[in-house]
């Protein structure tokens, strides 16, 4: 279990959700820190795998390698500064997983990447 208090609070909030997508997020976030560190996603991978207007939940860190040509909303544990700038320059939105819990009313069109 993580020693970061904010991370533990996030895990509790995600665990309370009844939707299957959030159960999957909880399972992935509950893994050890060593396993979670492997979850690094570059922007070119997001661009290749999602459609314009989709919402992406990244269970790790988003890096700015590559081009992002689609307007997507990205929620993740961490972002590089350059990744935030590239996502926002295309009209997308960025936020952490707690923001996703609060803003996403429907999970239709939501893609989990790890």
> In the chain, what are the domain boundaries?
5-113
DSSP string, 34-64: HHHTT-EEEHHHHHHHS-TT-EEEEEEEEE-
Q: What is the pLDDT of residue 2?
A: 57
Q: What is the pLDDT of residue 28?
A: 87
Q: State which residues of the chain have pLDDT below 70.
A: 1-3, 36-37
Q: Could you tell me the fold of the domain covering 5-113?
A: Ribosomal Protein L15; Chain: K; domain 2 (3.100.10)
Nearest to 111, CA basis, from 34, 27, 46, 64: 46
In angstroms, the CA 77 to CA 103 distance is: 16
User: Can you read off the two tokens belonging to residue 42?
Assistant: 């570059």
Output the pTM of the full model. 0.88
Q: What is the pLDDT of residue 90?
A: 92
């Amino acid at each position: 279990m993580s020693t970061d208090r904010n991370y533990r609070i996030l895990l509790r909030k995600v665990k309370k959700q009844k939707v299957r997508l959030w159960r999957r997020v909880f399972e992935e976030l509950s893994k050890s820190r060593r396993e979670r560190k492997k979850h690094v996603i570059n922007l070119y991978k997001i661009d290749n795998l999602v459609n314009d207007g989709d919402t992406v939940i990244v269970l790790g860190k988003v890096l700015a390698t590559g081009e992002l040509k689609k307007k997507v909303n990205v929620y993740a544990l961490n972002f590089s500064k350059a990744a935030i700038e590239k996502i926002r320059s295309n009209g997308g939105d960025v936020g952490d997983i707690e923001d996703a819990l609060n803003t996403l009313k429907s999970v239709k069109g939501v893609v989990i990447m790890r």
